[in-house]
Structure 1
Amino acid sequence: MMFPALRRPLVAAALLLGLLLAARPALADAGFDRWLAAQWPAAQAMGISRATFERETKGLEPDYSLPDLAIPGKPRKPDGQAEFVQTPAAYVSDKAIGQLAARGRKLASQYRAELSAIEKRFGVPGSVLLAIWARETAYGGAKLSHDALTVLATQAYVGRRKDEFQGEFLAALKILDEGHVARAQMKSSWAGAMGHTQFLPTGYLKYGVDLDGDGTANIWSSVPEALAATASLLKEKGWRAGKRWAYEITVPSGFDCTLAEPGYTLSIGDWLQRGVKVADGRRIPASALKDEASIIMPAGPYGPVFLTPANYFALKSYNFADLYVLYVGHLADRIEDDKPFAQGWKDISLVKTRDLEFMQKELARRGLYADKIDGKAGMLTRSALGAYQKANGLTLDCWPDAQVLEHMKRGG
C-alpha cells in the first residue's frame, strides 16, 4: 500500500509529464510558424503579394504523417515507390498494361486532334503522353487528396530535401498568387506533384502550356493542357522527334551484362554488328543506325533486354527509375500496337532493401561501386554486382540474389 504523502508528488509528476507531452506538438508547430514567417522575404522577392502570402499561410499546419520526413527521434517513413520494391514482372504487369492500353486507344481517338497538334509542336507522340498520364494518375482516375501547399510546406520544414521543397513551396504560392488555380483545387500526391501528369510547382511554372489562350496552363482539369506540359518538358529534356524510346533486343551468347549500363554506349549500327538483334520484329531505319545507344537488362538475363537511345533518357527525366521508363514506353507501344514483349519474364525475386544496401556498401568498399547507397537495384548497382560475380567466380547474371548476398556475408 502506498502512503498518501508519497502518492501526491507522484500524481503531480504524472500530471506535469502529461502536460509536457501534450505541449510537444504545439512547440513543434511554433517552430513551423517561425519557419513559415521566415519565408516572406523570398516570397516577396518572387513578386508574391503580401495578401496572398498571409491568406494562404494563415492556419497552415504541417502534416507529420507524410512519408520521407526527417523528424528528430522518429524513424523515417519510407515512400515505398513501386519502381524500387517490385520485380520487373510485377511492376510491368501484362494484365494491367493490356487494360490501360485498351483505354488509351479510346482516349487517343477522343483527343486525336489535340494530340496531333501537340506532337506537331513538340515532337512527342500522343501514345507516349497518354502512357505517362496512365502511369501518373490512371488517366485522371487517381484521387489526389492532399492539399499541395501543406505537403510542400511540411517537406520544406522537416523533409529530407528541405532546400528543394522550399523552392517548390514558394512556387506553389506563386501559382496561387497568379490565379492559375484555386487553393481548393490545388490537390497533390504525398510528394506535392499536381495535376493529370503530376507536376511539381516549379515544373508547372517552367513547362506549363496555355493552349486555349485563357492565360492559364490548366494541368488540373484540362487533359490537353496537361499533356502539352508533359510534351514541353520532354522536348526540353532532349526528346528527339521521329525516334523510338527503345528497341527490344536479344544479345549474343556470352554477352557481358556488366556492359548493360548507361555509361557504355555504341552506335546502334555497331551494336548490330556485335550480334545484337531486334527481338520484336521492328525495323531500325537507316537514319537511326548512327544514333548512340546503351543496353539495359531490367531483370538481368531473366527477362526482356533493350537498346536505349536518347529518348529513353528523356523519359527518365520524368522519373529516374528504369522500370518507370519501361512501363511508359511499353504501354505507349501497346496503345499503338497491342503486342506483348517478345521475351517474357522469368520467376525471380528481390532481396530486401537493407540487404541491397549492405551489398552496395560492400561493392563500394571493394571499389566496384561509386553511386548512392540507397537499397535500389539500378543499372549501376547491377553492373557492379556483375563485376563482383566475375571477380569471385560466381555465375554472371548481374542480379542481386540470395546467393551473391550470402557470398558477401561470408566475406567474399
Structure 2
Amino acid sequence: MAAIGWNALRRLRLAIAIMVALALGAGVPPAHAADAGFARFIAAIWPEAQRAGVSRATFDSVTTGLEPDYKLPDLILPGRPATGAPSQAEFVQVPADYLKEKSIARLAAQGQRLMQTYGPTLNAIEKRFGVPATIILAIWGRETDYGRYALPYDAMRVLATQAYVGRRKEQYRTEFIDGLLLLQRGDVSRKNFRASWGGATGLTQFLPSELAKHGVDFDGDGRVDIWTSVPDALASAAQQLVNKGWRPGLRWAYEVRAPANVDCTEGVPEVTKPIGEWLREGFLPVRGQKLTAAERAQPASLLQPEGIYGPSFLTTKNYFVIKEYNFSDLYVLFVGHLADRMTSPLPFATPWSASTQLRSRDVEAMQRHLTRIGLYKDKIDGKAGMLTRAALGAYQKSAGLKVDCWPSDAVLRAMSAAR
C-alpha cells in the first residue's frame, strides 16, 4: 500500500507541475513557431528562384540555417506594434544639421586625395559614361564614407526577413532572389555580403535588383564587385545615373539669390522654365557667376529647401537623376555640393537659417489637413518635401498668413484652429 501511495503521489505531483507550466505559458507561442513559418516561407520561394536561374545547391547553401531578424525596423509582426522605418537624417534634420560644413570639408578633402589615387580610373569612367568624377566620388562619400563605414547586417538575412514580414514583401522577395543570383555568380562571398537594414549593399549602396540592372565589371576580372573593387563600384554608380537619364555637360544645379517677391509655391518639379526666364524674373546667380547662352536655355525648377529662408537653387534634369539614387532633396544637395567642393573651396553663398524642424507627426497632421482641403495629393509621410512645402505655401496664401512655404508651429496652430 505504501509503495502504491508513493507512486500515486509522484503522479499527482507531476500532473500538478504540468498544469502549472501550462498555466504560466498560456497564450505564449512556442519559441520556434515563427521560425517554422519562416522556414515554410523560404521553401515556398524555391520554385520562383529556380525559374530565375538559381541552382538548388546555391539555394540550399544560403537558406540552410537561415533565420529571420525580427529586430530590423520597418516590419509588421503579428501581436506586436508595427515598427516604422528609422528616421532618415535626410527627412528629419534641417539643412544646417544635415549639410554640416565640417563634414562637407572633410569629405571634400578626402575626395581630392582619391581623385589623385584613382585618377586614371576616374578619367576612364568619365570618358565612357559622361558623369563627372566628382559626382561619383561624392556618392561614394555620402553612402559609405569612401568605404570607411562598415555595413552592419547580413544581406541575405535582411532581404529574407523583409520579404517575410516587411512592409514591401513583394519587392524584397525579388531582392532575395537577386541576392541569391549574386552569390551564385560569385560576385560577392557570403561573408562580404553585408547590407544596411533596408538591404542596400556595397561601397556605393545598391539593392541587388539595381545592381543587376546597372552593375559594371570595370576592372575586367569577370565579375561585378562593388564591395571590394573601387572601379566596379564607381562605374556602376555612373552607369545607374546614365540609365536614369544623366546628361553629360549639364550642371546639377545653380545656387541663386531669390527676389524679395519670390512665390515659393513655384518650388515644385512641375514648374519648369528656361534658366534665362528665371533670371529675368529677378533670380541672380550667386557671386556674380556668368551663365552661357546654352546654360540660360536649359530648363530648370526652383528649389528652396527652407522655404523662403536659406539658399535657393535652380535645379536641372541632372538634379532629379541624382535624386533617383536617394529620394531626398538634402541628399542631392549634399552630393552636388560635395562634388563642387572637390574643385572649389567655396561653401553655399547664402547660409542656412536657424529654422527648426517639426516632428514627423506634426508634419503628417499638416499633410492630412492639406489633403482634406484639396491642396496636397501626395503621400502622408511626415516629410516636408517639395510638394508639401508648396502646398503649405498655397494654404498660407488662402489663410492670409505669411507665405514662406515652411512647416512651422504658427502654421500648425492656424490649421488646428481652422479644424
TM-score for both structures, normalised by structure 1: 0.95
1:314 matched to 2:321: yes
**Closer, same or farther in 2 for the Cα pair 1:22/1:339, shift >3 Å?**
same
1:208 to 189, 205, 215: 215
Report the Cα distance in structure 1 between the residues aligned to 2:234 and 2:25, rounded to whole angstroms. Answer: 52
Report the Cα distance in structure 2 between the residues aligned to 1:127 and 1:67, rounded to whole angstroms. Answer: 33
2:178 to 167, 171, 191: 171
1:398 to 401, 405, 410: 405
Letter in 1 for 2:124: A
Instruction: Map residues 6-405 of structure 1 onto 2, 5 A cutoff.
Output: 15-19=21-25, 23-75=29-81, 76-405=83-412
Q: After superposition, what is the alpha-carbon deviation per residue over 1:111-153, rounded to whole angstroms, capped at 9, x for unaligned?
A: 1111110000111101111111011001100011211000000
**Closer, same or farther in 2 for the Cα pair 1:254/1:184, shift >3 Å?**
same
Q: After superposition, what is the alpha-carbon deviation per residue over 1:351-386, rounded to whole angstroms, capped at 9, x for unaligned?
A: 111111111000000000000000000000000000
Letter in 1 for 2:76: A
Larger radius of gyration: 2
Report deviation, 1:220. Answer: 0.3
Report deviation, 1:338. Answer: 1.3
In 2, are the aligned partners of 1:363 and 1:384 still within 8 Å (CA)? yes
Report deviation, 1:289. Answer: 2.0
Report the Cα distance in structure 2 between the residues aligned to 1:170 and 1:48, rounded to whole angstroms. Answer: 8
Report the Cα distance in structure 1 between the residues aligned to 2:236 and 2:195, rounded to whole angstroms. Answer: 17
Letter in 2 for 1:252: P
Report the Cα distance in structure 2 between the residues aligned to 1:17 and 1:80, rounded to whole angstroms. Answer: 40
In 2, are the aligned partners of 1:302 and 1:345 still within 8 Å (CA)? yes
Other structure's SS at 2:387 match: helix
Report the Cα distance in structure 2 between the residues aligned to 1:331 and 1:195, rounded to whole angstroms. Answer: 20
**Closer, same or farther in 2 for the Cα pair 1:38/1:391, shift >3 Å?**
same
In 1, are the aligned partners of 2:219 and 2:231 still within 8 Å (CA)? no
Other structure's SS at 2:191 match: helix
Report the Cα distance in structure 1 between the residues aligned to 2:149 and 2:370, rounded to whole angstroms. Answer: 39
Q: Which runs of 5+ in 2 are unaligned?
A: 1-12
Letter in 1 for 2:263: D
Other structure's SS at 1:336 match: coil
Report the Cα distance in structure 2 between the residues aligned to 1:63 and 1:330, rounded to whole angstroms. Answer: 37
Other structure's SS at 2:106 match: helix
Report deviation, 1:10. Answer: 9.1
Report the Cα distance in structure 2 between the residues aligned to 1:212 and 1:93, rounded to whole angstroms. Answer: 34
Report the Cα distance in structure 1 between the residues aligned to 2:191 and 2:287, rounded to whole angstroms. Answer: 47
Letter in 2 for 1:168: E
Identity %: 53
Q: Which runs of 5+ in 1 are unaligned?
A: 1-6
Q: After superposition, what is the alpha-carbon deviation per residue over 1:324-372, rounded to whole angstroms, capped at 9, x for unaligned?
A: 0011001000111111000001111011111111110000000000000
**Closer, same or farther in 2 for the Cα pair 1:344/1:59, shift >3 Å?**
same
Report deviation, 1:288. Answer: 2.1
1:410 to 402, 412, 417: 417
Report the Cα distance in structure 2 between the residues aligned to 1:33 and 1:280, rounded to whole angstroms. Answer: 62
Report deviation, 1:269. Answer: 1.4
In 2, are the aligned partners of 1:210 and 1:216 still within 8 Å (CA)? yes
**Closer, same or farther in 2 for the Cα pair 1:118/1:392, shift >3 Å?**
same
**Closer, same or farther in 2 for the Cα pair 1:114/1:248, shift >3 Å?**
same
Report the Cα distance in structure 2 between the residues aligned to 1:77 and 1:393, rounded to whole angstroms. Answer: 36
In 2, are the aligned partners of 1:250 and 1:279 still within 8 Å (CA)? yes
- Aligned positions, number: 406
Letter in 2 for 1:40: W
**Closer, same or farther in 2 for the Cα pair 1:284/1:17, shift >3 Å?**
farther
Report the Cα distance in structure 2 between the residues aligned to 1:165 and 1:17, rounded to whole angstroms. Answer: 39
Moved more, 382-391 or 282-291: 282-291
Report the Cα distance in structure 2 between the residues aligned to 1:280 and 1:200, rounded to whole angstroms. Answer: 40
In 1, are the aligned partners of 2:393 and 2:403 still within 8 Å (CA)? yes
Report the Cα distance in structure 2 between the residues aligned to 1:215 and 1:74, rounded to whole angstroms. Answer: 46
Letter in 2 for 1:30: A
Letter in 2 for 1:160: R
Other structure's SS at 2:346 match: coil
Task: Specify the alignment match of 1:3 in structure 2.
Answer: none
Report the Cα distance in structure 2 between the residues aligned to 1:341 and 1:72, rounded to whole angstroms. Answer: 48
In 1, are the aligned partners of 2:111 and 2:137 still within 8 Å (CA)? yes
In 2, are the aligned partners of 1:280 and 1:341 still within 8 Å (CA)? no
Report the Cα distance in structure 2 between the residues aligned to 1:400 and 1:311, rounded to whole angstroms. Answer: 27
Letter in 2 for 1:292: P
In 2, are the aligned partners of 1:52 and 1:173 still within 8 Å (CA)? yes
Letter in 1 for 2:257: T
Report the Cα distance in structure 2 between the residues aligned to 1:183 and 1:22, rounded to whole angstroms. Answer: 35
Report deviation, 1:73. Answer: 2.9
Q: After superposition, what is the alpha-carbon deviation per residue over 1:182-232, rounded to whole angstroms, capped at 9, x for unaligned?
A: 111111111111110001101111111112222101100011110000000
